[in-house]
Amino acid sequence: MREHEVELRVTSDFDLEKTFECGQCFRWNADENGVYTGVAQGRAARIRQERGSIFISGTINEIETTWHDYFDLKRDYKKIREQLSIDDFMLKATEYGEGIRLLRQDKWETLCSFILSQRNNIPRIKQIIDTLCAMYGDKIHSNGTEYYDFPPAKRIAALSEKDLEPIKSGYRAKYIIEAAKAIAGGNLNLDALSQSTQEHARRALKQLHGVGDKVADCVLLFGLNMLDAFPKDVWVNRAIATHYKNNLDPAVFSPYAGIAQQYIFHYIRNKPVHHG
């Protein structure tokens, strides 16, 4: 038995692989045919792309209530790419990254995930989050398989560092427990922060142990839907050093500095190496 699948027509600027592999999310994995499975918005889904269409398991209602928003479908990325093409480098980066979309992810999941991401590589981050969800997330039955939702903050808040030893997150365990407690205890309200200014939200996030500039900016961009946040990881810093003599003010990309960051990141990491 195969579950129902819904077709979603996409004319331009939607590349499933680029969107899932450009560093913003950790819970989507492709099989050998490029079919992605994962959990988001409390739902498990299979998603694949064939030329001009995306096929998502589930109902048409779920597309409208969940995935349309998750994939940020109403935004015109082609137009934004044009705005961001301020020089030759950005023109190349935005052309190369055509199809990247900013996912609108769960706020707590994003905060927790990017705390865990520090000083780690992507396969390990995925492994840690997988184990965390399997141990403490709600079970989701879908298409004959069991998946696990991301555990709510309230549940993580009740754990000890010992409880988190199996996920092997190392010294980051105490950081996510503290963050979870701040949320569960009402001292940190991510929904409210997403309605405040970027500066205010950034300051609030950085009050948490284990949240510095980079993690805070990732949460603003990927979780709080603040598209002008510009996370600077080692790759982006490398690009800025190489192409802008270490002198680039992200404000030149405003109000879409975060989207610019995604194109830069993706381009620097994946562009073909030129010989000779």
Note whether 122 binds DNA by CB under 7 A: yes
Task: Read off φ and ψ for residue 25, nearest 5 degrees.
Answer: -135, 160
Residue pair 194/106 in contact by the 8 Å Cβ criterion? no
Measured CA to CA, the distance from residue 255 to residue 88 in angstroms comes to 20
Stretch that binds DNA, among 54-62, 111-119, 151-159, 249-257 (CB under 7 A): 111-119
Measured CA to CA, the distance from residue 184 to residue 178 in angstroms comes to 10
Q: What share of the chain is helix, strand, coil (3-state, %, to 5)?
A: 50, 10, 40
Measured CA to CA, the distance from residue 43 to residue 99 in angstroms comes to 23
∠ Cα 7 258 70 (to 5°): 25
Shorter beta-carbon distance to DNA: residue 43 or 266: 266
∠ Cα 264 265 267 (to 5°): 65
Single out the residue of 31, 64, 165, 249 in contact with DNA (rule: CB under 7 A).
Answer: 165
**Considering the complex, what minimum distance in angstroms separates the CB of residue 88 from DNA?**
25
**Considering the complex, what minimum distance in angstroms separates the CB of residue 18 from DNA?**
12
Stretch that binds DNA, among 20-28, 31-39, 82-90, 239-247 (CB under 7 A): 20-28
Shorter beta-carbon distance to DNA: residue 5 or 233: 233
Single out the residue of 78, 79, 139, 168 in contact with DNA (rule: CB under 7 A).
Answer: 168
Binding mask 199-228 for DNA (x = CB under 7 A): ---------xxxxxxxxx-x----------
**Considering the complex, what minimum distance in angstroms separates the CB of residue 60 from DNA?**
32
Q: Is the peptide bond before 123 cis (omega within 30 degrees of 0)?
A: no
Note whether 23 binds DNA by CB under 7 A: yes
Residue carrying structure tokens 């096929």: 55
Note whether 235 binds DNA by CB under 7 A: yes
Note whether 132 binds DNA by CB under 7 A: no
Single out the residue of 15, 117, 193, 248 in contact with DNA (rule: CB under 7 A).
Answer: 117
Shorter beta-carbon distance to DNA: residue 137 or 231: 231
Q: Which of 62, 55, 274, 43 is nearest to 149 (CA)?
A: 43
Distance of CA 231 to the CA centre of its chain: 12
What are the tokens at 112? 């927790």
Shorter beta-carbon distance to DNA: residue 49 or 117: 117
Q: Which residues bind DNA (CB under 7 A)?
A: 22-24, 117-122, 124, 165, 168-172, 208-216, 218, 231, 233-235, 265
